[in-house]
Amino acid sequence: MKLFRVLVVNPGSTSTKVAVYDGTAVVCSGVLRHETSELGRFARILDQFEFRSRVIEEQLAEHCIDPKTLDAVIGRGGLMRPVRGGVLAVDDAMLEDLEAAVGGEHASNLGALIAAKIARRLDIPAFVADPIVVDELEEVARISGMPEIQRISIFHALNQKATARRAARELGRAYDDVNLIVAHMGGGITVGAHRKGRVVDVNNGLNGDGPFAPERSGGLPVAQLVRLCFSGRYTEQEMLTKITGKGGLAAYLGTSDAREVEKRIDSGDPRALLIYSAMAYQVAKEIGAMAAVLAGQVDGIVITGGLAHDSRLVRWITSRVSFIARVFVYPGEEEMEALRDAALRVLAGEEEVVSVGG
């Protein structure tokens, strides 16, 4: 069996993760840190394209990786038009979306652009997999209660899908044959209902929906929010920042670092205990809501993301939801491995690649 060599590129706000794999074995990997002063030279994230491409090429040269030995390049998916889940070919339509920042500016937009540049020079395929704009919602899940506002799908699709597949394997079944609820807990929290390979409902963990999180306000009492918006105390941008970036734990406790909150709880801080347990309560409540979406036919519940390293938080959530189904805990987010595996599935003919441009 051929051992495929894959380059994985994952741009973040202040770093670029790069790895080369022979099959599942790591050939080389690294996290290329970028100083704020270095990135400050660029007016837009798109302007960082040549700089980030160059440091990746330097990393490959440093590890004596001949680009001509690569079979494919896969990058982290960015804010393009909504797409269905899976492995997507990087095509002109995707690149146009990312260059125009149709979904907004984000470092992940560079993933496909860099992958395309490297792959086209070598005449090999370039992919992305399960970007955050994966949209598999059922039509009923799009209805918000106000015709001017439609519920949209923005979530941790890459890690949710990867851990869902992992749980399915532990159950001895295929991802397309099981119903799972996946709670990804990081700076934002998303809880998705996975019905036989499709995420039919999920909260928008970026822009004010679902449980509050270390940096997100989550869903809020709407009338009170409207009054606050028109109180004259805050500008539009300040309100948006209160919802995304400075909400949740950051707003209540002055820190979004869960480790700091844990220390406060251990030292006897009652407010830290209340707020942190309230976040667990809201995650559990959202899991319960997704169980209703799946009509109670739930094969497993997955708890994942950086916060899943906290056994206390996981215990609080599990104590409320374990009656629904077996709970799987997969701490962290193995994005590089998830991207690698996605490329390998396509190269091995186990999964068909899809296209943004049709």
Strand 189-195 vs strand 179-185: parallel, antiparallel, or unpaired? antiparallel
pLDDT in tens, 83-132: 989 999 999 999 999 999 888 888 889 999 999 999 999 999 999 999 98
Instruction: Copy the structure tokens of residue 93.
Output: 């339509």
Q: pTM for the complete prediction? A: 0.90
74 closest CA partner among 13, 4, 14, 15: 4
pLDDT above 60 (res 181): yes
- Distance CA(355)–CA(358), nearest Å, equals 5
- CATH architecture designation of domain 5-135+336-355: 2-Layer Sandwich (3.30)
pLDDT above 60 (res 135): yes
Other residues' Cβ atoms within 10 Å of the Cβ of residue 17: 17
Instruction: Copy the structure tokens of residue 238.
Output: 């300040």
Cα distances (Å, whole numbers) of residue 302 to 100, 177, 236, 332, 343: 35, 16, 36, 12, 23
The DSSP 8-state label assigned to residue 69 in this structure reads G
Cα distances (Å, whole numbers) of residue 49 to 99, 112, 113, 117, 171: 10, 11, 8, 10, 42
Query: What is residue 96's predicted lDDT score, i.e. its pLDDT?
Result: 94
Give the residue range(s) of CATH 3.30.420.40 domains in the chain: 5-135+336-355, 157-331
- The alpha carbon of 256 is separated from its chain's Cα centroid by a whole number of angstroms, namely 18
pLDDT in tens, 283-305: 999 999 999 999 999 999 999 99
- Distance CA(87)–CA(98), nearest Å, equals 17
Q: What integer is the mean pLDDT of 336-352?
A: 95
- CATH architecture designation of domain 157-331: 2-Layer Sandwich (3.30)
Residue 1: pLDDT band with limits 50, 70, 90 = low
